[in-house]
Amino acid sequence: MTGDGHTLRGVGATPLAGVGTAVRYDPDADLTPPDPPDPETVDEARERERFETARDHAREALEAQRAETAARVGEDEAAIFDAHLQFLDDPQVEDGVAGHLADGLPAEHAVDRAFGEAIAQFEDAGGLMAERTDDLREVRNRLLRRLLDVAAVDLSALPAGSVVVAERLGPADTAQLDPERVAGFVTATGGRTSHAAIMARSLGIPAVVGVDGLEAVEDGDELVVDGDAGEVVVDPSPERRERARETGTGAEVRHEPVTTADGRAVEVAANIGTAAEAAGAREQGADGVGLFRTEFLFLERDSPPSEDEQYEAVVDVLEAFDGDRVVVRTLDVGGDKPVPYLDTEEGSNPFLGVRGVRLAPGERPDLFETQLRALLRAAATDAGDGLAVMFPLVATVEELDGVLDRVQAVAGALDEAGIAYRIPELGVMVETPAAAFVAGDLAERVDFLSTGTNDLTQYVMAANREDERVADLHDPLHPGVLRAIDRTVTAAHEAGAWVGMCGEMAGDPDLTGLLVGLGLDELSMSAVTVPAVKERVTGVDTDEARALAERALAAETREAVLEVLGNGR
């Protein structure tokens, strides 16, 4: 394909740009089994053994890739592989395979049909079930590659300067990409909060997702991937290529705190999932940590971590930021982050079930109290002045009061035992409409609130972020979400609490002016977006930003909000 700077538009996933050569990638290629043989000629026992061998191989590969992803990118990103491991042993799929084997089909045909039936059922069910179909496809493809002896494309060994072009990229695909070699990736599906987009930000790879017209891009086309503007330029001019190369690394890293043009301080922090990620966040100029996801310590093991393990992990992060604020979220599992050894019932809709404080302290107060002991001890160390602790998925004042009572009880027990402790800043994640409605009551009891816009958007709009069919609804720029954020900020400030934001919305530089105008005191994001957001903060005039926010809040539709903001999101 040739052209004169033909531009395709999508959703920018990272504030980075790259220039490279298109490499088309189709994870389903060459995985259609040939016509099945006569059932009378098929040895069912042998085919069952072939299936079980392929499953064992897939399990080993998934476990290895999960561990590698956790170490390289982060535990939160690696957790998606837990769902793939569960599907390997899903009773419905296994029964389907067994049934087709009994009917005289070879293992590859039995796998293809059983997974195809499960995918169709999930798609028909819609909602949370439908969003799992990509996970099912990835597991099916792993099994089929083994059974058909088809080698997987090694995305980690692509030629330098490659731009991966695909209908979709799953987490197993994205985790392979080498930021030193890959100039970017573009996909036809996905949104800013899809797994591929989040992984791109964690790896620091230019990416544009949800691109219209991508089928016209061919292998070998030269592309500019502008993850800031959300554009893919095919056959770009020399000027456009040079401009992308000059800005490819993003904004200049600023290690000092920043203020708006008129002097208002805005803290720009990073979201991390492991202590190992703290150094990288510091290198990107993060002022601190706005979200330390502690659930990583509970995954990839057979039992919960000890108090001392949790204490050491938190102290490591506190020392890495040397007195700057580090906000630690207490255990938040359930929903899309199951922990098998906790043996909790998933329920018909796990996102509306036992997760966050409903699990710990709710059903498992022992887990919560062990973690609190570790946190209160960490707060008493030389580096502990910066520690802040927030509680996830609080929906009622009663829940918060119960949590705060437990904090006091743990502090009392430490005091009686003669163990040094300190109660740090305490806060609540605002992720539900209920929390936004009672934000003032919550803020009167704690030091801060932090809006988790990924879940807040999901619950306000009743639209899951991984279901492509409702992707337009999962956007924090819908008036209902913006007004929930505004209500939270206003109520918190009236109660004397500061307010942060740790969802993906905080890391979108195009929205920095709006968020400053809404009154956010702190913005926390993937580390790679910190430099760009800091740069945007320095150019914001607070009065103008407030006026912008007021116009956006008055808008009645998402389209009207976009018009107010004047961007192409």
DSSP reduced 3-state for 274? coil
Pairing label, strands 231-234, 448-451:
unpaired
Supply the pLDDT for residue 105. 95
Region of 116 (left: φ > 0; alpha: ψ -120 to 50; beta: rest) is alpha
pTM, two decimal places: 0.70
**Rg, the chain, Cα only:** 24
Pairing label, strands 231-234, 6-9:
antiparallel
Say which residues have a Cβ less than 8 Å from residue 237's Cβ, sequence separation at least 6: 4, 5
Supply the pLDDT for residue 3. 45
Which residues is 278 bridged to in the sheet?
Answer: none
Is 9 exposed, middle or buried, given 0-12, 13-18 or 19+ CB atoms closer than 10 A? Answer: middle
List the CATH code of the domain at 261-565.
3.20.20.60
CB of 467 within 8 A of CB of 131? yes
> Regarding the domain with residue range 39-148, which homologous superfamily does it belong to in the CATH classification?
PtsI, HPr-binding domain (1.10.274.10)
DSSP 389-418: EEETT--SHHHHHHHHHHHHHHHHHHHHTT
List the CATH code of the domain at 6-27+153-247.
3.50.30.10
Residues in the chain predicted with pLDDT less than 50, given as ranges, are: 1-3, 128, 568
Hey, where are the domains in the chain?
Answer: 6-27+153-247, 39-148, 261-565
Say which residues have a Cβ less than 8 Å from residue 517's Cβ, sequence separation at least 6: 542, 544, 545, 546, 547, 548, 549, 550, 552
Q: SS3 string of 449-503?
A: EEECHHHHHHHHHCCCCCCHHHCCCCCCCCHHHHHHHHHHHHHHHHCCCEEEECC
CB of 334 within 8 A of CB of 355? yes
Which residues is 22 bridged to in the sheet?
Answer: 163
Is 357 exposed, middle or buried, given 0-12, 13-18 or 19+ CB atoms closer than 10 A? Answer: buried
Supply the pLDDT for residue 13. 85
Assess whether the region 6-27+153-247 and the region 261-565 belong to the same CATH fold: no
Supply the pLDDT for residue 247. 65
Supply the pLDDT for residue 539. 96
Supply the pLDDT for residue 221. 93
Q: Which amino acid is at 28?
A: D
Give the C-alpha separation, 393 to 356, whole Å. Answer: 5
* Total residues found in the chain within this entry: 569
Active centre residues (catalytic):
195, 502
CB of 501 within 8 A of CB of 520? yes
Say which residues have a Cβ less than 8 Å from residue 415's Cβ, sequence separation at least 6: 421
Nearest to 428 by CA among 444, 411, 409: 444
